[in-house]
Amino acid sequence: MRKQFLFYWLPVAGFCVVIFFLSSFPSPDVGPSFALKDKVLHMTAYGMLAALFSRACRAAWPGRLSMLQLLAASVCFATLYGMSDEFHQSFVAARQADGGDVLADFLGGILGAAGYMTVTFRRSLNPFWKTGR
């Protein structure tokens, strides 16, 4: 059980800590600049978070969650964490809460969780989800 926690849930918690840490400072102007760069970064980060959460849930409850339940749980987790991060940013100097960022977090969550499930499903001979019936 402890090994399972360390291998599956610790990366989820660790990635949440990284997101919190990075949003505790004014955003640096690093890398090439392009339109909607901030939204692409949000989608990428929260897509990764949703994929990690999907992986942890699949390991914690193998075969107990349908594909739709796993997708919904992962997207909800990523979106709620994104909302809490935007609230946190409203207290950080030179940062502000942005509803567009939450939308990007939501879309990233969908892409990350769906991408993880697609890759995992294709690698297995049998689907890891049940129909829920």
Global confidence as pTM: 0.86
Q: Tell me if 11 is assigned to some domain.
A: yes
Tell me what pLDDT residue 94 has: 86
Confirm whether 36 is domain-assigned.
no
The answer on pLDDT for 128 being more than 80 is no
Domain membership flag for residue 26:
no
Of the candidates 25, 46, 29, which has an alpha carbon nearest to the alpha carbon of residue 91? 25
Q: Which domain holds residue 105?
A: 2-20+42-123
- The CA-CA-CA angle for residues 37, 68, 102, to 5°, reads 25
Note whether residue 37 is domain-resident. no
pLDDT greater than 70 at residue 42: yes
Is 128 part of any domain? no
Tokens standing for 111? 């892409």
| pLDDT above 90 as % of the chain | 64
CA 61, CA 40: separation in Å to the nearest integer? 31
pLDDT of 124 reads 67
* Residue-wise pLDDT tens digits, 74-97: 999 999 999 999 999 999 988 889
- Residue type at 78? A
Number of domains composing the chain: 1
In a domain, residue 72? The reply is yes
Tokens of 130: 């049940």
How much is the pLDDT for 63? Answer: 85
* Inside any domain, residue 111: yes
Here the tokens at position 17 are 């800590």
DSSP H/E element including 109: helix 99-123
How many other C-beta atoms can be found within 10 angstroms of the C-beta atom of residue 66?
A: 15
| 86 domain-assigned | yes
Q: Of 24-28, 34-38, 123-127, where does mean pLDDT reach its minimum?
A: 123-127
What pLDDT does residue 132 have? 45
